[in-house]
């Protein structure tokens, strides 16, 4: 049961076991300034696990066709919806995504007393993608997941390097008029309909089974949690932070507030809380093992319009959210593998990210201003658009945002040759090992360059 806590301090290509953590929230149209529904999620994974953003077209399928998920095959349906997914590069499934009908889903790992089945089946990220592919509403997506769960269960390795790491899953599902929280344990589930907003993390939020559940009405669902791992994950504190922010900004909430929530830290700087930062920074193989490797915000208006924003890289406090058009994805965001590659947007950003976290105290204020300026320029005035739009001006805006972000990171990387690293010996050694084992180039020290942040 405690397999995930056996830390590995060696720098060889070996598993880095640990608790994978995420945070997801949604707020309905009655509580936002512009009357749109807004979804946000940070995907916290192993720190050197590349995450890609892919746009997948809708398709028609032939009778009797099967499809391969991450570990198992299931029958295909007659048609699947077009999707945008943010996903670990090696998985079929996804951490978060939105479909052409305006259904948005994010999942969270749940650590429970109910353990996975022995034979691999569907994992939580497979179920998330299947819900998006096969549903037109949040209600339909929830029941797609429930039905598949009953038929195939949930089991299989969920970690990238740690193939013994498995977990149950909860889902936050949103469309233009509904928010659903679906918590699953084994082949059982509990479904709730929060009225105005919801936030989930890595803990069970429902105390009793209630009326929409496969459990008996008197079952204490929260008692099924694994208390040690759930507490270690810090999920209660992170969820509470998000709920407080949603309540505080009820009636005036905007996508800018969603960005701010996803890049928030418990203290002034990361690493000051015990796994309690929504913007999660990995610091070593024993305690802080998860890293925010991708982030997404989606806004839906009442007229079938979309606004989709992604970071396409680690650490939202060090990179802007950028507008993403499903029909015109920018180059490199769908490309990644196990090692650094220049044609991968995620890996190019990762080279900057590692250099930056080694010098975080000297960079965070300057980077915050630059990130804010970028989002004001490319995100705040963005109009709602159709999922399949190819509007030239919007496509150019999106492409420019990604290009400008990369150019800024290249300039900062060059300047970081003269910026002193923070005095965090173990943290810095950890990230240098991460860079070496994945072939990530880091900035060298140049003699004669002043130790200050460029203006």
Whether the pLDDT of residue 180 is over 60: the answer is: yes
pLDDT for 2 equals 31
Whether the pLDDT of residue 115 is over 90: the answer is: no
DSSP 213: B
Whether the pLDDT of residue 366 is over 50: the answer is: yes
Q: Residue 455's pLDDT band (boundaries 50, 70, 90)?
A: very low
Whether the pLDDT of residue 168 is over 90: the answer is: yes
pLDDT for 44 equals 96
11 is catalytic: no
CB 337 within 8 A of CB 345: no
Q: How far apart are CA 366 and CA 423, in angstroms?
A: 19
Cα 182–Cα 185–Cα 187 angle in degrees, nearest 5: 95
Looking at residues 330-354, what average pLDDT do you find? Answer: 98
Percent of the chain with pLDDT over 90: 80
Q: How far apart are CA 372 and CA 364, in angstroms?
A: 12
The two beta strands, 197-200 and 79-80, are unpaired
pLDDT for 18 equals 53
DSSP 73-127: EEEPPSEE--EEEEEETT-SS-SEEEETTS-EEEEEEE-BSSPPPSS--B-HHHH
Of 11, 22, 69, 364, the catalytic one is: 22
Per-residue pLDDT reduced to its tens digit, 64-107: 999 999 999 999 999 999 999 999 999 999 999 999 999 999 99
**Between 256 and 450, the higher pLDDT residue:** 256
Place of tokens 């069970």: 204
Whether the pLDDT of residue 244 is over 80: the answer is: yes
pLDDT for 449 equals 31
pLDDT for 118 equals 86
Per-residue pLDDT reduced to its tens digit, 400-444: 999 999 999 999 999 888 889 999 999 999 999 999 999 999 986
Q: Residue 210's pLDDT band (boundaries 50, 70, 90)?
A: confident
pLDDT for 286 equals 75
Q: How far apart are CA 436 and CA 90, in angstroms?
A: 20
Whether the pLDDT of residue 247 is over 50: the answer is: yes
Looking at residues 116-121, what average pLDDT do you find? Answer: 86
The fold of the 3-336 domain, in CATH, is: Penicillin V Acylase; Chain A (3.60.60)
Per-residue pLDDT reduced to its tens digit, 48-58: 999 999 999 99
- Domain locations in the chain? 3-336
Whether the pLDDT of residue 284 is over 60: the answer is: yes
Looking at residues 245-271, what average pLDDT do you find? Answer: 93
Give whole-number Cα distances, 219 to 140, 147, 396, 433, in Å. 26, 21, 54, 46
Q: How far apart are CA 359 and CA 425, in angstroms?
A: 12
pLDDT for 119 equals 86
DSSP 162-203: -TT---EEEEEEE-SS-EEEEEEETTEEEEE--SSEEEE-SS
């Amino acid at each position: 049961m405690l397999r995930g806590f056996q830390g590995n301090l060696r720098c060889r290509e070996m598993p880095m076991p640990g608790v994978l953590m995420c945070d997801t929230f949604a707020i309905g149209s009655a509580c936002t300034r512009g009357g749109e529904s807004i979804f946000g999620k940070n995907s916290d994974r192993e720190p050197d696990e590349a995450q890609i953003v892919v746009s997948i077209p809708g398709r028609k399928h032939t009778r009797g066709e099967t499809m391969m998920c991450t570990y198992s095959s299931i029958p295909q349906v007659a048609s699947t919806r077009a999707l945008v997914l943010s996903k670990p590069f090696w998985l079929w499934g996804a951490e978060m995504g939105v479909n052409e009908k305006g259904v948005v889903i994010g999942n969270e790992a749940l650590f429970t007393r109910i353990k996975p089945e022995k034979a691999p089946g569907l994992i939580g990220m497979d179920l998330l993608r299947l819900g998006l592919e096969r549903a037109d509403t949040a209600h339909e997506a929830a029941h797609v997941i429930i039905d598949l769960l009953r038929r195939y269960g949930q089991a299989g390795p969920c970690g990238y390097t740690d193939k013994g790491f498995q977990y149950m899953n909860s889902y936050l599902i949103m469309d233009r008029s509904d928010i659903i929280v679906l918590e699953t344990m084994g082949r059982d589930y509990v479904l709730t309909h929060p009225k105005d907003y919801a936030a989930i993390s890595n803990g069970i939020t429902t105390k009793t089974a209630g009326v929409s559940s496969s459990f008996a009405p008197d079952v204490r669902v929260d008692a099924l949690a694994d208390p040690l791992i759930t507490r270690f994950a810090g999920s209660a504190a992170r969820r509470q932070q998000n709920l407080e922010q949603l309540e505080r900004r009820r009636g005036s909430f905007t996508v800018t507030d969603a960005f701010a929530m996803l890049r928030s830290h418990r203290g002034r700087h990361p690493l000051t809380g015990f796994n309690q930062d929504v913007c999660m920074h990995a610091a070593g193989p024993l305690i802080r093992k998860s890293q925010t490797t991708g982030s997404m915000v989606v806004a839906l208006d009442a007229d079938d319009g979309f606004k989709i924003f992604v970071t396409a890289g680690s650490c939202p406090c060090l990179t802007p959210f950028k507008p993403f058009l499903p029909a015109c994805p920018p180059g490199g965001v769908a490309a990644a593998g196990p090692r650094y590659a220049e044609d991968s947007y995620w890996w190019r950003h990762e080279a900057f990210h590692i250099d930056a976290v080694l010098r975080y105290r000297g960079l965070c204020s300057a980077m915050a201003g630059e990130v804010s300026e970028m989002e004001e320029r490319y995100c705040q005035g963005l109009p709602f658009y159709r999922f399949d739009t190819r509007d030239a001006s919007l496509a150019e805006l999106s492409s420019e945002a990604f290009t400008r972000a990369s150019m800024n990171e290249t300039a900062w990387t060059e300047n970081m040759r003269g910026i002193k690293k923070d005095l965090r010996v173990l943290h810095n050694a950890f990230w240098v090992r991460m860079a070496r084992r994945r072939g990530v180039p880091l900035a060298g020290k140049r003699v004669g360059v002043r130790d200050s942040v460029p203006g």
